[in-house]
Amino acid sequence: MEQFRNIGIIGRLGSSQVLDTIRRLKRFLVERHLHVILEDSIAEMLPGHGMQTCTRKLMGEICDLVIVVGGDGSLLGAARAMARHGTPVLGINRGSLGFLTDIRPDELEAKVSEVLEGRYLMESRFLLEGLVRRGDELIGQSDALNDVVLHPGKSTRMIEFELYINGQFVCSQKSDGLIVATPTGSTAYALSAGGPIMHPKLDAIVIVPMYPHTLSSRPIVVDGNSELKVVVSPNLQIYPQVSCDGQNHFTCAPGDTLTIRKKVQKLQLIHPVGHNYYEICRTKLGWGSRLGGHE
């Protein structure tokens, strides 16, 4: 197992609980004589911290491990930055769901100690890349760990588009939009739209229509190496938006092409020993426990 010496900390802004947990984590790491680097935006909220600071972009280059304190949204943002460098990411949950940030604050010292001692599970999660082109011109580009979503933006109108997979025409569709999700993102927006839950180890992409005009339009699961092209109808009267992980957004014009494909770089996500994906689903989604009340 890799030895972690240079440890970056990223936190969700605007939360006193996150700041309290970061102070506790920083103190714990310093007591273990580890080199701690704070993301510059969170460092501004901790006057007198005495630690090295850097941008999120640089953090992936200089850290052996990055610990995210916050919710799944915080980890999504960190994941896109760290995947470029293959820097492992560990999440401490200070959000609501916690599908990705799976260490509770009350077990911080015990679980982080295990990771530092080499007792952890490393899991690779692939990301998607979304590119919007207007003719030959690249208009927008972003990565997504969860999903790339085409939607009407603030408009209440349906949008019309054509879908191609690996160059083959699949269908034209009128709907409120289209969600293209990774297995990681299958328990996020795609699940709310009626998509299937996919185990994170699957090499697959799910395509989920949002309130389609044709009731026979159903989610499709395709090979993870597929290239998807979504051509916005040139007759559309509105300018739809593309959102990556619900955090990065850009606007399409009628006739634009959205291309979605797997990124080469993957997120290295660390879990504590004993991590159980089905237990997380059971807890977060309210699935039934064993008959007789046994765990």
User: Is 72 annotated as belonging to a binding site?
Assistant: yes
Strand partners, 10: 68
DSSP designation for 148: E
- Cα dihedral value 112, 116, 122, 128, nearest 10: 70
User: Is 157 annotated as belonging to a binding site?
Assistant: yes
CA distance 189 to 186: 7
User: Is 174 annotated as belonging to a binding site?
Assistant: yes
Tokens of 54: 């850097």
User: Is 176 annotated as belonging to a binding site?
Assistant: yes
User: Is 101 annotated as belonging to a binding site?
Assistant: no
Neighbours of 291 (CB within 10 A): 6
User: Is 225 annotated as belonging to a binding site?
Assistant: no
Among 99, 62, 67, which Cα is nearest to 284's? 99
User: Is 94 annotated as belonging to a binding site?
Assistant: no
User: Is 289 annotated as belonging to a binding site?
Assistant: no
- CB 227, CB 131: distance < 8 Å: no
Strand partners, 38: 9, 53
User: Is 193 annotated as belonging to a binding site?
Assistant: no
User: Is 64 annotated as belonging to a binding site?
Assistant: no
Among 224, 170, 34, 22, which Cα is nearest to 108's? 22
CA distance 209 to 180: 9
Of these residues, 72, 102, 143, 256, which one is catalytic? 72
User: Is 223 annotated as belonging to a binding site?
Assistant: no
Give start and end residues of each alpha helix (H) in 167-221: 189-192
Concerning whether 245 is annotated as a catalytic residue, the answer is: no
- CB 163, CB 228: distance < 8 Å: yes
User: Is 211 annotated as belonging to a binding site?
Assistant: no
Q: Which amino acid is at 122?
A: M
- CB 8, CB 65: distance < 8 Å: yes
Annotated binding site for NAD(+): 72-73, 146-147, 157, 174, 176, 187-192, 247
Active site residues: 72
Annotated binding site: 72-73, 146-147, 157, 174, 176, 187-192, 247
